[in-house]
């Protein structure tokens, strides 16, 4: 069943040629600014990793990776990445990146279990980044500082789009609002998580929700998070659990909140063990990535992903991510979109 939602009277502000020009300029400009803000060098990333190593991102722990056998490796299985959360940390160690510096890459993934709609595609493209930090930087204050620097790059990119296409006026506020998921629950006790996100983002237009993954006072987490990359179980200076979060903006076309980035301070040995135990995943401690982390062979880090197509979709005021990227969509969705004047690439 099609999950397509096209707003009434929606008409793209840009034609196909203008859209492609906008996509190129946004991607070129933003990644340069991100690299400059966080002192990141670009590296080449894998499309697939070996199965059974614990390197692939498990997302919420239920999504199935796309697997295939490798003929010249005795049919050993490889799997398309979901994201590069753990691979990046291994790369920081292997490249001997110094404290205060990091890496970024173009990550391309296939998520076959995505429920396809205006914001979700089988194809995921994002900038994955990772920064080496010191023990003293494992704090909520440091996380907020990194978020504000990324947001500064977003503000500059928004103005670039306005210069290219004056009909697209800037909407982002000058400052991003921070709120912990528990505070958000107390603010909107009668709403579910998505409704709370919509309410807070509609009010402030750009929000960073802290503490994604740990159970809240209602017994459930705000949203799912794998136990072996972000640290969502450590207490922070605000008295709440979580050194991670999601960056959301208010999408004026769809009139809902849209997550553009997920990021966080990564687990150390203590929080990795604690979070694996909490999820009943202690068996992962025998995997390649987890053993290297427990043996203190990996640097402390902060990292995240920033959705490229979603960022372009927001800046160019598009109603569907398929107006930005080429992917596969149910035929009924394509036909319904075409009838409403929306061309899915």
> With 0-12 CB in 10 A as exposed, 13-18 as middle and 19+ as buried, what is 292?
middle
- Check 31, 126, 257, 261 and give the catalytic one: 126
Contact 143, 110 (CB under 8 A): no
The pLDDT of residue 58 is: 67
> With 0-12 CB in 10 A as exposed, 13-18 as middle and 19+ as buried, what is 104?
buried
Is 3 inside a domain boundary?
no
The pLDDT of residue 242 is: 97
Is 6 inside a domain boundary?
no
The pLDDT of residue 8 is: 84
Is 345 inside a domain boundary?
no
CA dihedral (75, 76, 81, 82) positive or negative: positive
94 assigned to active site: no
From first CA to last CA, the distance across the chain in angstroms is 20
Rounded to 5°, the CA angle 7-8-11 comes to: 80
Rounded CA separation 184/157 (Å): 29
**pTM of the predicted model as reported, rounded to 2 decimal places:** 0.93
31 assigned to active site: no
pLDDT tens string, the chain, 345 residues long: the values are 458 888 888 999 999 999 999 999 999 999 999 999 999 999 999 999 898 888 887 665 567 888 999 999 999 999 998 889 889 999 999 999 999 999 999 999 988 888 899 999 999 999 999 999 999 999 999 999 999 999 999 999 999 999 999 999 999 999 999 999 999 999 999 999 999 999 999 999 999 999 999 999 999 999 999 999 999 999 999 899 999 999 999 999 999 999 999 999 999 999 999 999 999 999 999 999 999 999 999 999 999 999 999 999 999 999 999 999 999 998 998 998 888 888 898
Is 165 inside a domain boundary?
yes
The pLDDT of residue 19 is: 96
Is 55 inside a domain boundary?
yes
338 assigned to active site: no
> Number of structural domains, the chain?
1
- Check 58, 89, 111, 323 and give the catalytic one: 111
Parent domain of 72: 16-339
The pLDDT of residue 1 is: 44
What is the β-pairing status of strands 177-180 and 206-210? parallel
Residue whose tokens read 């034609």: 15
- Check 117, 259, 335, 336 and give the catalytic one: 259
Rounded CA separation 334/73 (Å): 40
Give the pair of three-digit tokens for residue 48.
């697939």
Query: Where residue 307 sits, what CATH number does that domain have?
Result: 3.30.930.10
- Check 246, 268, 309, 317 and give the catalytic one: 246
Is 4 inside a domain boundary?
no
262 assigned to active site: yes
339 assigned to active site: no
- Check 83, 233, 262, 309 and give the catalytic one: 262
Is 11 inside a domain boundary?
no
331 assigned to active site: no
The pLDDT of residue 64 is: 83
Is 49 inside a domain boundary?
yes
What is the β-pairing status of strands 123-132 and 102-110? antiparallel
The pLDDT of residue 2 is: 57
């Amino acid at each position: 069943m099609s999950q397509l939602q096209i707003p009434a009277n929606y008409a793209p502000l840009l034609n196909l040629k203008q859209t492609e020009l906008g996509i190129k300029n946004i991607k070129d400009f933003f990644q340069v600014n991100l690299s400059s803000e966080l002192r990141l060098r670009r590296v080449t990333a894998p499309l697939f990793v070996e199965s059974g190593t614990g390197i692939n991102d498990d997302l919420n722990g239920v999504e199935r990776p796309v697997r295939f056998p490798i003929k010249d490796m005795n049919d050993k299985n490889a799997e398309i990445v979901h994201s590069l959360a753990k691979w990046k940390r291994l790369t920081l160690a292997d490249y001997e990146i110094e404290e205060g510096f990091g890496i970024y890459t173009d990550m391309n993934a296939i998520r076959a279990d995505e429920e396809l709609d205006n914001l979700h595609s089988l194809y995921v493209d994002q900038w994955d980044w990772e920064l080496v930090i010191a023990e003293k930087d494992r704090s909520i204050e440091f996380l907020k500082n990194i978020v504000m620097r990324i947001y500064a790059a977003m503000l500059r990119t928004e103005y670039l789009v306005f210069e290219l296409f004056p009909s697209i006026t800037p909407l982002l506020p000058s400052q991003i609002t921070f709120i912990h998921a528990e505070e958000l629950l107390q603010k909107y006790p009668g709403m579910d998580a998505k409704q709370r996100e919509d309410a807070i983002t509609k009010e402030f237009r750009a929000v960073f929700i802290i503490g994604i993954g740990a159970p809240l006072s209602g017994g459930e987490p705000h949203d799912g998070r794998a136990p072996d990359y972000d640290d969502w179980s450590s207490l922070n200076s605000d008295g709440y659990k979580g050194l991670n979060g999601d960056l959301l903006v208010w999408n004026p076309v769809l009139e809902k909140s849209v997550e553009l980035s997920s990021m966080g301070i990564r687990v150390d040995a203590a929080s990795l063990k604690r979070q694996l135990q909490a999820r009943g995943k202690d068996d992962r401690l025998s995997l390649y990535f987890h053993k290297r982390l427990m043996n203190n062979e990996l640097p402390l880090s902060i990292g995240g992903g920033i959705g490229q197509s979603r960022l372009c979709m927001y800046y160019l005021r598009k109603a569907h991510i398929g107006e930005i990227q080429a992917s596969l969509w149910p035929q009924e969705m394509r036909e319904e979109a075409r009838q409403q004047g929306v061309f899915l690439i």
